[in-house]
Structure 1
Amino acid sequence: MNRIIALAVVVVVAVLVISSSVFVVDPRHVAVIASTGGRTDSLAEPGIHVKLPPPLQTTTFIDTRVQAFAAPDAVRYSTSDKTELLVNPVIRYRVTDPLKFFAATRGDAQTLSERLASLSRDALSGAFSKVTLTNALAQQEAIANGARDTLREAAAPLGIEVVAIEFSRVDYPPELADAVFKRMSAAREQDAANERAQGAAEAQQIKDDAVRRQQGVLADAYSQAQAIKGEGDGKAAAIAAEAFGRDPQFYQFYQSMQAYRETFKPSDVMVVDSSSEFFRFMRGPNGEAAAAPAAPRKH
């Protein structure tokens, strides 16, 4: 009976020793085998492994997938124009050096969270302090990328690689929201006024250019018209001279008829001396002076 009990105890102890010595690492993790006595920790890749039972050796499983860390509360950051913003960052990272990671955190999630929170605050504070409020709202991706590069370098001693920083929230503190909105509204109104003024100046410039071109066209047209008119007057004078040379009397008659047409209008009332030289063609077709009345005879 005692032998059976002793054998059972031996079997149980053996099972416990074997179960604590054999372990399996799945593809999503690696295992750090920590040894007592100052011996160097070792790394176990995915697969089946054997180690010494505790407390001689202990196993810590480390997730090598991309993971996310988000601070539980929003953090205040100041921009270059001294405006505070409430920011909720999400840090995405993965463990690239499990032994270094284990040495820095002993695999404790709380320790990692505290270290990441502190490092990310420093990186984001530096990134936001370099931009104005307007740029902080409009260039969030660029700010996040800049902070990521800074945090990646600072977190390298932890054995992790920072993959990305994302913002789940970028907002104003409640006590500053009204003042910020008013300032932004005033800035937008000023921008709109500047745009309108610039548009009006450009429109006036276009109008002035159009007037100058119009004046140039009109001046050119007037010059051409005067040239054509002068040419026409010259031809008319030549024709008139030729006509006068052929039949001076007819030319004088024609010129008198033109003068009559320009002088007398249907509504005009004129009192003139019909014996004037101007009306000589009205007294005869040849423009001859009418015969003087015979002098009365004396008896």
Structure 2
Amino acid sequence: MKKTSFLIPVAAILVAAFLSSIFVVDEREKALVLRFGQIKQVITEPGLGFKVPMVDEVARFEDRILTLQTPLIEVTPADDRRLEIDAFVLYRIDDVVQYRQAVGAGGESRAANDLSGILESQIRAVLGSQGVTSNTILSPERSGLMDQIRVRSDARANALGLKVVDVRLRQTNLPEQNFDATLQRMIAEREREATDERARGREAAQRVTALADRTFEEIISEARRDARIIEGEADAERNRIFAEAYSKDAEFFEFYRSLAAYEEALKGSNSTMVLSPNSEFFNYLRSDQGSRSDEGEQR
């Protein structure tokens, strides 16, 4: 009886000791077995682990991707237009031993602090480098800049046992005190561009107008030349016809020409003319001309 009562507590102690020596590592975790603060075992795979009860302790670390958001960072790109930028970073604990040694008892909060400082310095370095302007930051080239920040941040975060998975720039704003000045400068730049465009437009319009005027003059000159040629040919044809008619009946031709001259000279309301009565112009208007004609016919 006494022996049985003695064995039961011993068995209970042994079972408790055995159970306390067992621990489980979740698939979302990594773990370190520490003995008096010294690392005795590194566990990176999920499953059961063993430790010395009352001597060893288990430090657990996240194996999932973690997120960190930076405060507003003021950067000055190459065009001296200051911007306020905030970013977020995705990272994970890559080397638990290095991480434990780097952050010590500070744990996740100290790691986040150190990583935030690294990220801020690299954002300033990349976005403030030569050739990077505010327009570049706001353009599709932004993704290339974020890749540069990620690579440079990851190289420095290795010392903390961290792996930087991704970096994204979120808001890109102008500081409040610079907003009006920047807006006025943008307006002035757009007005200058508009003035240049209008000047180029006026220059192009003048070239088009000059070309049109020259083409117009050339067409008019050619038309006038062709008209004169046609008029000359028509006059020549008319003279030929007159000459042919004159050669067939000279007296009738003179009569016809006289009638045409009377029509031209006496048209309109004013039919008064001052000429000598003996002028040849009145040959066909004098009465004796008709008598002579009758006498000539009687003869």
Bin of the TM-score, shorter chain as denominator length: 0.7 to 0.9
Report if the CA contact (8 A) 1:64-1:96 is conserved.
no
Once the two structures are superposed, residues 90-127 of structure 1 have per-residue CA deviations (whole angstroms, 9 ceiling, x without a partner) of 22345666776666557943343233323322332233
Provide closer, same or farther for how the CA distance between residues 79 and 153 of structure 1 changes in structure 2, counting only shifts above 3 A.
Answer: closer
Mapped to 2, the partners of 1:222 and 1:100 lie a distance apart of 98
Superposition pairs of residues 214-293 of structure 1, within 5 angstroms = 214-273=216-275, 274-283=277-286
Q: Which residue of 2 aligns with 1:191?
A: 193
Provide closer, same or farther for how the CA distance between residues 52 and 9 of structure 1 changes in structure 2, counting only shifts above 3 A.
Answer: closer
TM-score by length of 2: 0.77
Mapped to 1, the partners of 2:40 and 2:152 lie a distance apart of 26
Provide closer, same or farther for how the CA distance between residues 161 and 265 of structure 1 changes in structure 2, counting only shifts above 3 A.
Answer: same
Shift of residue 184 of structure 1? 1.8
Superposition pairs of residues 1-299 of structure 1, within 5 angstroms = 1-18=5-22, 20=23, 23-26=24-27, 29=28, 31-33=30-32, 42=42, 44-45=44-45, 47-53=46-52, 56=56, 58-65=58-65, 67-71=66-70, 73-93=71-91, 108-129=107-128, 130=130, 135=135, 138-139=138-139, 141-156=140-155, 158=158, 159-167=162-170, 169-273=171-275, 274-283=277-286
2:214 partner SS: helix
Mapped to 1, the partners of 2:239 and 2:131 lie a distance apart of 84
Shift of residue 58 of structure 1? 3.6
Letter in 2 for 1:70: Q
Letter in 2 for 1:2: F
Provide closer, same or farther for how the CA distance between residues 4 and 162 of structure 1 changes in structure 2, counting only shifts above 3 A.
Answer: closer
What is the Cα-based RMSD across aligned positions, in Å? 3.3
Report if the CA contact (8 A) 1:128-1:143 is conserved.
no
Letter in 2 for 1:216: E
Identity among equivalent pairs (%) = 23
Shift of residue 277 of structure 1? 0.7
Provide closer, same or farther for how the CA distance between residues 96 and 231 of structure 1 changes in structure 2, counting only shifts above 3 A.
Answer: farther
Q: Structure 1 unaligned runs (5+)?
A: 292-299
TM-score by length of 1: 0.77
Greater CA deviation, 144-153 or 207-216?
144-153
1:192 partner SS: helix
Report if the CA contact (8 A) 2:74-2:85 is conserved.
yes
1:166 partner SS: strand
